[in-house]
Every structure is written in C-alpha cells, then in structure tokens.
Structure 1
Amino acid sequence: MNIKKHIPNTITLLNLFCGCIAVVFVSKNQFEMAFFFVSLGIFFDFFDGFFARLFKVTGELGLQLDSLADMVTSGVVPGFVMFKMMQSSSVAMSEGYLQFFPYLGFIITLGSCYRLAKFNIDTRQTDSFIGLPTPANALFILSLPLVLQYYSNDSLAVLEIFTEKWVLLVITLFSAYVLNAEIPLFSLKIKKFNFKDNALQIIFLAISVLLLFFLQYFGVALVIIFYVLLSVINNMLKKK
C-alpha cells in the first residue's frame, strides 16, 4: 500500500474538517474560534497541493476533493457569518419580507461555489488568479465581526456603519462579484530572488506584515482590500 498517495487527500479532508468545526462556532456566534479554524483549514488547503506535487500524486480526485473542501471552509462559513451579521442588524425587523433579509448573506456562498467550479476548468489560473480566491474572501468576511468586536470604540466609531444591513448587503454583493470578476490579481510566488523582478510582491508582503502586526483583525481586512487595489493599479500601469 502506497501511503504517500493518500497524504494530500488526507490533508484536504482536514481542511474540510476545520470548515465543519468553524460552522459550529459560527452558529454559536463564536467568530474568533471560527476565524481560527478557517485559517487552519486554509493552511491545510495550501499544503495539500504542495504534498501532491512533492509526491507526484496529483489527480482528478484530489482536484475535486480540494474544491469540495473549499466549498465548506471558504464558501459556506463566510456566507453563514454574513447571515449572522445581517440577522443581528435586522433583529428589530422580524416581520414581513425583512425576516428573510439575512438569508441574502448566502449569496457569498453561491458566488464562492461558482468561482470554485469555474476555477477547476479555467486554464488561465495556473500561476496567478483571475478574481479573488475564495480563501482570501473568506478571511475578509470573517474578519468583519471581529473588527466590530475589537475596534468599535470612540476613535473608530465609523466602523459602526458595518452593522447596517444595507451596507452588509453591498459588501455581500461586492464579495460575490469580486470572486468572479475578470480582474487579474498578481501572483505572490517569487520565482527569481532579486528585488527588481519581485518588487510588487515584496512591497505587498512587507506592508501586509506591518498591517497584520499593528492592526490584527482589522489588518486582515485591509490586506485583502490592498491586494485587490494594488492588482487593479498594476493592471492599469501594464496597459499604458
């Protein structure tokens, strides 16, 4: 029995397991633990492909398992988080059509599903991404309730806008859009060890480290936004 060929798929299933645990924590409004398990799942998601290439056991089964695991960890969980946030914002409006409003949060799950299916058949996304990857989007969405929890004070009172249901709906729709938008995002892979060829990646990573160090969960949201904006600017400069 070749044990090596089962290692990548086992790691993928650990990603799925983390996603299932995260769902449970979201149901209990324990968003910090949910963030931790989604992050752990994304960690496993990175290394399943690494070990598949290392052991030369890549195949169709692994590809499908990877997408199915991501569908839970990076699709269902962020949609559920947005559902919970919308539910809190609409608590005083439990009658009429507004009682169904929180379910719109699962538009993120639908957008994630569509992206994962499209990614599997898109040959353009081997070295870089077109549209925001589902793990990055999941981290962004899961950081929102934590930002509100830890940073909603007098100095950052503007963050209270993210408790408004219509603002949350805009974020939801934008999330589903950016997942599937035809926006090339620069690769974070460093292929040559020199600053000239990797200036964009190095600058992004350096600023990201500073944002995460000083702002923690708020930094997570800013890093994802910064990544998309920097990619858009980079694309515009390339066209000139």
Structure 2
Amino acid sequence: MKQHIPNALTLLNLLCGSIAVIFAIQDNFITASFFVFLGIFFDFFDGFAARKLNVQSELGLQLDSLADMVTSGLVPGIVMYKLLALTVNTSNTVDGDWSSNTGWLDFDLPILPLLGLLITLASAYRLANFNLDTEQQNFFKGLPTPANTLLIVSLPLIMEFQDSDFINGIILNKWFLIGLTFLSCYLLNANIKLFALKFKDWSFKTNATRYIFILLCIVLLITLQFAAIPTIILLYIIMSVLDNLTTK
C-alpha cells in the first residue's frame, strides 16, 4: 500500500497543474497560481515520501516528470503567452461561439506571444534530460522547472497585489518579456550546478548554504511579498555558484 502514496501525490500535482491550465487560459492568473503553488507542494512531497518510505521506482520518476510537464512546463508557457499578448494589444481569445469559429483562419492567433511557449519546449527538454542524467541526485544541473515556474507566475501576482505603474511598465514591456523568455529557456538547460533542498542530516555544517538560503527567503518574502520571488531565484543561482566555488 505504501508504494502508492508517492504516486498519489504526484497525480495530485498533475491534477493541480491541469486545473491551473484551465484558469490560465481564462486569464484568471490568481487562481491558476494558487493551483501551481499547490502542485509544486505535492511535487516536493512526493519525492520526500518516496525516500522516507523507501519506495523509489522508475515508474515514480517517469510519472513525476509527466506531472511536472503540465504544472511546471505548460502553465508557465501559457502565462508568458498571455503576458506577451497583452503587450501587442490583442485579446488572444476566440470571438463568438464555438460553432462560428471552426476554421483555422477564424482564430486570432498573434505570432509574438507564441514565443512564450518556448518555455514549455525548454521545460520538456530539461525534464527528459533530467531523467537520463544519473548525476543529478543531490544537485540540479540548470534551474529546476518548479523554480522557473514560480518566476514566471510571480509576474501577474506582482502586478495584481503590488500595483505600481513603474513595475507594471517593466513587466508589460514586450522586450523585457522576450528577454525573460530566452533567459528562462537558457537557465532551464544551462550547465550550472545548483544545490537541491534535500537534507541527508540536519547539521548546520553540512547544510549551511541551505539553511542560510531558507532564512533569506523568509526575510525576502516578508518584506517584498510576491516581488521577492524573482529575487529569490536570482539569490538561488548566486548562492549555488558561490557554493560551487567554495567547494572547489
């Protein structure tokens, strides 16, 4: 029975991601983000449960990547598509009812926003590569898809809850979004060693980087709220690079 617990958590991740897709398509970024956060929560604990229950399996590995492809691959691509669509003044929706829009030429499909889906493609490549890479047990090579997803979905949350003309002007600048899209694709598959939040023991000596990172995350979230998320991702990369240099 216990071998099914991690897979059940993984399927909950997939369910949350699927619901997030529906809300993201409907421009309901707040609810979509909630289900993304919930999906990432299940994604963290499915691996934790598998290790604690000693029921890790190849099926669980493959299922985890399939679930992540939706929650942390498709959703951020759709969110970026929607944000880019806002910069070219298009509704990015289909006018009229379904029966009146059955042909390809009836759809308003702007080209520029489609760049956002590059994030989905880069996420798929990373997840497939991760499954084949036997080295990534205690660290990540490139930015994990959940972290990248948090970065992307934080943008509409920042605009909604920390309304600022200056910040909104930056986020809704098409060149900023295009640059972030390409940066996101690069970081997902970059040959950069990033530490994983996996604790073999609870000693400060062996987990100093992790403890300091978690503490800084808490401080940033309290002070900056959703605007802290991009800062945390940058901090994660910087601390990983410094940790690698220190180790060497």
Report the TM-score, using the length of structure 1 for normalisation.
Answer: 0.89
User: Does residue 147 of the first structure (1) align with residue 140 of the second (2)?
Assistant: no
**Does 29-38 or 52-61 show the bigger shift?**
52-61
Residue of structure 1 aligned with 2:41, choices 40, 43, 48 = 43
Are 1:214 and 2:223 an aligned pair?
yes
Which residue, 129, 146, 157 being the options, matches 1:118?
A: 129
CA contact (8 A) 1:93 1:99 kept: no
Runs of at least 5 residues in structure 1 that lack an aligned partner in the other structure: none
Report which stretch shifted further, 32-41 or 104-113: 32-41
Instruction: Choose the corresponding residue for 1:203, options 176, 199, 212.
Output: 212
User: Which sits farther off after the overlay, 63-72 or 44-53?
Assistant: 44-53
2:89 counterpart (82, 87, 91): 91
1:109 equivalent to 2:120? Answer yes
Shift in Å at residue 37 of structure 1?
0.5
Greater fraction of residues in helix: 1
After TM superposition, give the deviation of residue 140 of structure 1 in Å: 0.7
* Long gaps (5+) in structure 2: 93-108
1:83 touches 1:105 (CA, 8 Å); kept in 2? yes
Determine the structure 1 residue equivalent to 2:101: none
- Counterpart among 138, 143, 150 of residue 149 in structure 2: 138
TM-score by length of 2: 0.87
**Cα deviation 1:52-84 (Å, max 9, x = unaligned):** 233333222211111000000000000000000
- For residues 117 and 90 of structure 2, the distance between their equivalents in structure 1, rounded to whole angstroms, comes to 21
CA shift for structure 1 position 36: 1.0
Structure 2 residue aligned with 1:231: 240
Contact 1:132 1:180 in 2 (8 A): yes
- SS, match of residue 185 in structure 1: strand
Cα RMSD (Å) = 2.0
Q: Within 2, Cα distance between the matches of 1:52 and 1:192?
A: 17
Runs of 4+ in 1 over 4 A off after TM superposition: none
Q: What displacement does 1:105 show?
A: 0.1
